[in-house]
Each structure stands twice: as C-alpha cells, then as structure tokens.
Chains A and B, each alone.
Chain A
Amino acid sequence: MSALLQLQNIHKAYDGLRVLDDVSLSLAPGEIVSLLGPSGCGKSTLLRIAAGLDQDFSGALEFNPLLQFGRGTGIGVVFQEPRLMPWLNVAQNVSFADGWIADEKWVQQLLRDVGLSGHADALPKKLSGGQAQRAAIARGLYGKPHVLLLDEPFSAVDAFTRMKLQDLLSELAERYEIAVLLVTHDLDEAFYLSDRVLILGGTPSRLQRELAVPLARPRDRRSAELAYLRGEALTELYQSHAI
C-alpha cells in the first residue's frame, strides 16, 4: 500500500438520512487533494471521518503504517475556525499536543514559518483572524505530520489574506513533504493548490468527478489552464444540480 491514507466505500448517515454514499479516495505521499462541493454535501463529514473524529460510519479507513512512526498520529488537522485555546498564548497553542514538555525550538521554527515569530507570547484575543489561522496551521504542523487535513481553513478570512495563506500552505506542504487533503467550496482555491480535485455532489453525495491539475508550481492564479479547469468543474457541478 503506497497511499498514506485510504478511505474505502464510505457510507455515512445522520438519523437515517444518507449523506455519503460509497465514497472512496486515497492520498499519496506529497500529494495535495481537494474535496470540492457545495455546503452540506458531506465533504466536511468525510474529513472528520479521516481525522478519526467521527467513528460512526461504514466502510474502511486505512492508514499507512508509516504514519505511526514518530510522535502522535502522523496526521495534523486544521479546522475552519482557528480553535485556539483562549487561555494559552500562541506558542503554547502551537505546542498544545505536548503541553509542558513542548519542543521550544520547533515551535519557534514553526512560528517563523507561518510569519508569527513576534507573537509567541500573545494571547489569541490579540490576533487577527488571519493570524489566528496561521497559528492554527502551525499547531497542525507541530506533530510533524505526514498528512494534513484542512476543513475549509481559509473561508473565514478576507480574500487577500486567503491568497497569502494559500501560498503559505502550498509552500509549507512542499518544504515538509506533507500530503494535504483540503476540503473547500472555493473553486479557485481547489485548483490553485491541488494535484487532484475531487468533486462531491448529489444527494446522497457521491464522487462525481476527479480532475487532475497537471500544472507545475508555483502556479499563476491568472493562468488559462486554471480557468479551463474551473470551467470544467463548474459544468460538473451544474450537471449534478449542485448549484
């Protein structure tokens, strides 16, 4: 098994209402995959299943044994909201997994990586939305994960901050050789960042289509290829009556 993470034939229902119907996906090392779909299509549910936060599903969830090496689960998660502990400062939040035995050097390095080096002692209430999300990304990376799961991580920040954070994510994923599974409803974001885009739609949701994005990085947000792929995705979403 070469994939880091494999979800096979996932079915999920909330109170008898089927949300996910036979969804399978896998994540290869170093790959960035986006799950794209309208809200309520179960893409966040799928991510929660992958993160181990939702145990109530049928199907198989397989992790590569490689993930078990080192500390923690080998999986980092970044939520839609920063979810920082308001009583801990930024550095303590980043090293939350380790509590008192934090690896200070690594924390400093991560804070430099996400552009928060001056804010190690700041409390979350002093951070802007974008800064808080940067801290959340640093926390996601603290366990040196092989896989990073992100649930609409940039949907609550303004458009300019979003573009910066997208570049940051792409850069860090490459630097630390992390495979990324990104849930998003933003077409631009999905195609700009990903190697593959999976479109989820219908009721109950199935994988409608998989679009590869064979473009080298760094990418140009204005490029015609990206625009073409976005068009393809839109067509698919129209056809599946998602929008």
Chain B
Amino acid sequence: MSALNLRLSRWAERLPSLRPSLANLRGWAVPLALLLGLETLVRSGILPAHQMPAPTQVAQTLFHLAVSGELLRHINASLLRVAGGFLIGAGLAIVIGTWVGLSRRAEAYLEPTFQALRAIPSLAWVPLLLLWLGIDETPKVVLIALGAFFPVYLALLAGIRNIDRKLVEVGQLYQLSRFALVRRILLPAALPNLFTGLRGALSLSWMFLVAAELIAATRGLGYLLSDGRETSRPDLVIAAILLLAVLGKLSDSLLKYWETRALSWRDSYQGGEN
C-alpha cells in the first residue's frame, strides 16, 4: 500500500512537467476527429469517393507526388515566389512606410495615392500584369509583392504614429540623426505593429500566390489545384490545399517565433489561464 502511495506521489511530481505538452496536444483533437469521421463516411459509401476522396487516398496521392519528385518541384516553385514577392513587398513597405511616418510632407504627397491604390482589389491587377509582364515569374512575384505591401505599410505607419512622443524626445535630446532616430527609436518602438503587418502580409502572399498560379503557371501548388480540377481529381486538389495549409502555417509559425523573440521586452497582457 505504502509502495503504491509512493509511486502515486512520484507520478504527481511528474505531472506538472507533463502538463504543458498535454496542453500543446489539445489542438490536434479536432482535426484528428474530423479525419477519422471523414474516412469512415467515405469508406462506408455515404460520401461518393469520386467527389470526396478518403484521407488515406489523399495521403497516397501525396506520397506518389513526393516519390516522383513532383512535390518538391511544385513546393519549390511556390516557396520561391512567395519568398520573393513577400520580401520585395514588405521591404518596400518598410522603407516607404518609415519615410511617410517620419515626414508629414511625404504623407501629404503619398497617402491619398496609396489610399486609392489600396482600394483596388489586388486581383484586379492580374490582367494588367499579364499584359505588361507576360506569363513567366515576374507578374507572379509582382502580384504577391503588391499584396504584401499594403498590410506592412499601413501597420508600420500606424505604429510609427503611435510611438510615445516622449521617447522620440529622448532621441532629440541626444541629437540623433534622422537615420539613427529611425534605427534606434522609431523602428524598435513600431516593431509590434510591424510584426502584425508582416504576418498579415505573409498570409496575403500565399493567397496571391494561388491566384497567380491558378491563372497561368506550369509549376507550383496553384497549378496543382487547377490541374486537379481539369483532370477531375479531387484528391489532387485536396492534397494541394493541405500543402498550402501546412506551408502557410509553417511560415507563419516561423514569423511568430521570430516575433516572440524580438518582442520579449514588451510588458503586455499575455492572456488568461490555461
């Protein structure tokens, strides 16, 4: 009896260390249940397999794609486009956003134009981009850059305009140059907003990638989607959707990880109990 008690108390000691990992696993419950339910429904014939393939069949399709090397080719193409477009768009947004944030005059000149450009649904640019830039990589990257630009620009501008004037005054006191003021006070202080913008921009980048690849591409996940539709293969479509979900999530997690590290100085509310 006492041996059992001892063992129990040892277990109890270990429990707190187990808890966080258990909490991390909670997020898997819903998707796993959905997959299981779907598999059952398709296997039992309630859902027609030619319209809704079973999860195992999608897994098979993915496996074949991976083995043939096709998968890597498509993912590579899409990743490069997203990375290129996102970096160009976000980079330009940081430069221009900082400039407009610093200078009322630049704001007076540029803001109305940007507001107007922003009002155009970015997909409306597609025909023009195709006319101007052809159907190779350039229009895709440009479209993604367009999509990534505005969230970053707006968030950064709002962030800079929200900075406590008192901190900027410390910079004046130390007679910082304009560039030093940006680097040492404005950008760090606007970093929380900037990250929000970057994460928004990243998810938009994936959206615009699909739009660009659906229209004219011979590689990439968007191409896989349209290929699946044209050859009536829902398993291919779902496989591509899954890949987009995974890549989108992974890239966002990467950015979030970076955000958490870069913003550890913030003294903000972290949410309630577990």
- Taking Cβ atoms with an 8 Å cutoff, the residues of A that contact B are 51-53, 72-73, 77, 79, 81, 83, 85-88, 96-97, 99, 123-125
For A83, list chain B residues within 8 Å (CB).
Answer: 166-167, 169-170
**Interface presence of B267 (CB below 8 A):** yes
Contact digits for B249-272, partner A, Cβ 8 Å, 1 yes 0 no: 000000000000000111100000
Which of B169, B180, B265 is close to A86, meaning CB atoms less than 8 Å apart?
B265
Q: Report chain A residues within 8 Å CB of B175.
A: 73
Of the listed stretches B151-159, B183-191, B223-231, name the one at the interface; the rest are far from the partner chain: B183-191
A96 to B167 alpha-carbon distance, docked (Å): 12
What are 20 residue pairs bridging A and B, where the CB atoms are less than 8 Å apart in the complex?
A51-B173, A53-B173, A73-B175, A79-B166, A81-B166, A83-B166, A83-B169, A83-B170, A85-B170, A86-B266, A86-B267, A87-B188, A87-B191, A88-B265, A96-B170, A96-B184, A123-B264, A123-B265, A124-B265, A125-B266
Q: Which residues of B contact A (CB under 8 A)?
A: 166-167, 169-170, 172-175, 180, 184-185, 188-189, 191, 264-267
Is there an interface contact between B170 and A87, defined as CB atoms closer than 8 Å?
A: no
The listed residue (A53, A85, A123) touching B185 by CB distance below 8 A is A85
Residue of A nearest to B188 (CB): A87
Residues of A close to B267: CB separation below 8 A: 86, 124-125
A96 closest partner in B (C-beta)? B174
Centre residue among A72, A81, A85 by max chain B CB count within 10 A: A85
**A105 to chain B: closest CB distance in Å?**
20
Given A53-B172, A125-B267; 10 other pairs, CB 8 A cutoff: A73-B175, A83-B167, A83-B170, A86-B267, A87-B191, A96-B170, A96-B174, A99-B180, A124-B265, A125-B266
B182 CB, nearest partner CB in chain A, Å: 13
CA distance A73 to B175 in the complex (A): 9
| Distance of A53 Cα from B166 Cα, bound (Å) | 11
Cβ 8 A contact of A85, one of B173, B180, B188, B266? B188
Report the minimum CB–CB distance from B271 to chain A (whole Å).
17
Shortest CB distance B130–A (Å): 44
CB-based nearest A residue for B164 = A83
A128–B146 Cα gap in the complex (Å)?
45
Task: Tell me whether A97 and B191 are in contact in the complex, defined as CB-CB below 8 angstroms, given that A83-B166, A125-B265 are known contacts.
Answer: no
Contacts of A96 in B (CB 8 A): 170, 174, 184
Name the A residues within 8 Å of B170 (CB-CB). Answer: 83, 85, 96
Separation of A87 and B184 alpha carbons in the complex (Å) = 10
Chain B residues near A72: list those with CB within 8 A.
174
* Contact pick for B167, options A85, A97, A125, CB 8 Å: A85
Closest to A79 in B: B166
A residues less than 8 Å from B188 (CB atoms): 85, 87
**CB-defined contacts of B189 to chain A, threshold 8 Å:** 85, 87
Q: Which residues of A contact B172 (CB under 8 A)?
A: 53
A73: nearest residue on chain B (CB-CB)?
B175
**A contact residues around B174 at 8 Å (CB):** 72, 96-97
Q: Which residue of B lies closest to A80 (CB)?
A: B166
Complex-state Cα separation, A212 to B184, whole angstroms: 43
Chain B nearest CB, measured from A150 CB (Å): 13
A39 to B265, CA, bound (A): 34
CA distance A99 to B265 in the complex (A): 18
Q: Which 6 residue pairs of A and B lie closest in terms of their CB atoms, listed nearest first?
A: A125-B267, A87-B265, A87-B188, A97-B174, A123-B265, A86-B265
Please give, as numbers and ranges, the residues of chain B lying within 8 Å of A125 by CB-CB distance.
265-267
Q: Is the CB of A77 within 8 A of B265?
A: no
- What chain B residues lie within 8 Å of A88 (beta carbons)? 265
A191–B158 alpha-carbon span in the complex (Å): 45
Question: Nearest Cβ distance between residue B97 and chain A, in whole angstroms?
Answer: 19
**How many Å lie between the Cα of A72 and that of B176 in the bound state?**
11
CB distance from A56 to the nearest CB of B (A): 14
Cβ contacts under 8 Å, B173 to chain A: 51-53, 77
Cβ-defined contact, A99 with B184, below 8 A: yes
Q: Min CB distance, A46 to chain B, in Å?
A: 16
Contacts of B265 in A (CB 8 A): 86-88, 123-125
Q: Give, as a whole number of angstroms, the nearest-CB distance from B219 to chain A.
A: 42
In the complex, what's the smallest C-beta–C-beta distance from A83 to chain B, in angstroms?
5
State the Cβ distance, B185 to closest chain A Cβ, in Å: 7
